[in-house]
Amino acid sequence: MKLDILAFAAHRDDTEITCGGTLSRLVGQGYAVGACDLTEGEMGTRGTAAERQAEADEAARILGLKVRVNVGLPDSGLFNVREQQLRVVEILRRHKPAIVIMPGLEQRHPDHATTPRIVFDACYFAGLAKFPDLKHDAGRAHRPRKIYWVHNSYDAGPPSFVVDITAEMEKKMASILAYKSQFPDQGDPAKGPPRDQIEDWVRSRGRAYGLMIGKKYGEGFIQRETMEVEDPAKVPGQSM
């Protein structure tokens, strides 16, 4: 299936936490939206790969995603090497997204930090006509038009833009809490906080980005290129 937007992440539940509201908003605007998890999360302290797959399927249903795919790369074993790039090239050529969303470059988890490097390089290589496919049916060369990185607290500067997700916040939370193995009602201090603390953290993060644009909830993104403005009189926001 050809997609308008494809969001990449290292593990199941990462996409929901970082940009689930934006994906839900794009779905509501009529775009074909998908998600791609590079690993099955088999090294996670909580739950099994099978449990997380079922939870990811439910989260995708809640957000209205057209496609949810898993590359099957090793959890806690992501490296920006040709073999792993090839697997992502195959996904890009198969679904031909116009826009790719990926995690921010500065991350605490090594898999989270490596994912955007693998995906960015794969986006370039996927556009080379002579670059090989792992599978003959992967499709012809394709390069996304736009790449967005999710902004996070490790980034030194402000986001390039913030998406208002006020109307989508409850759906975002529902998609996150679909991961019952990861966010149980009662947390084990040795494994992580309970879901009410996770929900408070997610909402606080959303409020911080929302304040930047005068809305209740938001999600921030970074793009490398300078944005063109056709009509300065119609740029949204208020300076005073």
Q: What is the pLDDT of residues 122-138, one digit of tens each?
A: 999 999 988 887 665 56
Reported as a single tens digit per residue, the pLDDT across 157-199 is 999 999 999 999 999 999 999 998 888 776 666 666 677 888 9
Among residues 101, 110, 32, 86, which one has the least CA distance to residue 64? 32
Could you tell me the pLDDT band of residue 34, with boundaries at 50, 70 and 90?
Answer: very high
Q: May I ask the CATH architecture of the domain 5-223? A: 3-Layer(aba) Sandwich (3.40)
Token duo for residue 45: 């302290």
Stronger pLDDT, 187 or 220, i.e. the higher one: 220
Does this model's pTM top 0.85?
Answer: yes
Q: Work out the percent of the chain whose per-residue pLDDT is above 90.
A: 74
CA distance 182 to 45: 9
Among residues 236, 219, 225, 224, which one has the least CA distance to residue 23? 219
Q: Work out the percent of the chain whose per-residue pLDDT is above 70.
A: 93
Reported as a single tens digit per residue, the pLDDT across 109-121 is 899 999 999 999 9
Boundaries of every domain in the chain: 5-223
